[in-house]
Chain A
Amino acid sequence: DTAVSQTPKYLVTQMGNDKSIKCEQNLGHDTMYWYKQDSKKFLKIMFSYNNKELIINETVPNRFSPKSPDKAHLNLHINSLELGDSAVYFCASSRLANYGYTFGSGTRLTVV
């Protein structure tokens, strides 16, 4: 019954590898997001998608490529991982602008 589910929960990988994080929401929301939470807990928007279309790309390196096969799914693929990519990545969804976001439980990415 999880509203926004992300997999995997933990990801440990070596520098230079490519990895993907998957996100699915069963709330019927039209907009989905990726947020990055750094070691100081700061939450920063990376991307937002509305009905499968990219709306916001917040100056994220092009090593990060989101893909939305349908409005219930938003995946994040990361190429050539760097140490600085280590963080917790959260997927979220919302029904409309100015309404509450529902966040997933996060994917903790550690690059070694």
Chain B
Amino acid sequence: QQQVKQSPQSLIVQKGGIPIINCAYENTAFDYFPWYQQFPGKGPALLIAIRPDVSEKKEGRFTISFNKSAKQFSLHIMDSQPGDSATYFCAAEFQGAQKLVFGQGTRLTINP
């Protein structure tokens, strides 16, 4: 119930394409869903986050789509660039938990 399942494990996209990374959860108490970006040798950095009262959130080229009934959410990267190549993690938390539960990560490669 505490798990967040992320797919795919790895993804290769041409520059300008739209990579999509998907996550699914079981625990309906989760009420905060962030995405983190991690470059080699660095810590994860918060990219964008959504709460279940909205179905979509955009920040720059990054969009989260959220489907509460299906208990799924996804990250879309518009006009992807080689500099977006990194590992992406979805995560979830519920009020009072004081811990983020992470998905397994997706290694994204954007080819020039």
Contacts and interface: CB of A to CB of B under 8 A. Distances in A.
A35 to B, nearest CB: 8
Contacts of B43: 4, 90, 92, 103-106
B100 A40 contact: no
Range class of the A interface residue count: 20 to 34
B1 interface: no
Contact of A41 (B34, B95, B101, B105): B105
A64 interface: no
A105 B42 contact: yes
B60 interface: no
Interface in B33-80: 34, 36, 38, 41-46, 49, 51
A101 B98 contact: no
Interface residues of B, number: 28
A56 B100 contact: no
B93 A97 contact: yes
Interface of A: 4, 31, 33, 40-45, 48, 50, 55-56, 58, 90, 92, 97-98, 100-106
Interface of B: 31-32, 34, 36, 38, 41-46, 49, 51, 87, 89, 93-102, 104-105, 107
A111 B91 CA distance: 29
A90 B43 CA distance: 7
A90 B89 CA distance: 15
A48 B98 contact: yes
A105 B41 contact: yes
A25 B69 CA distance: 38
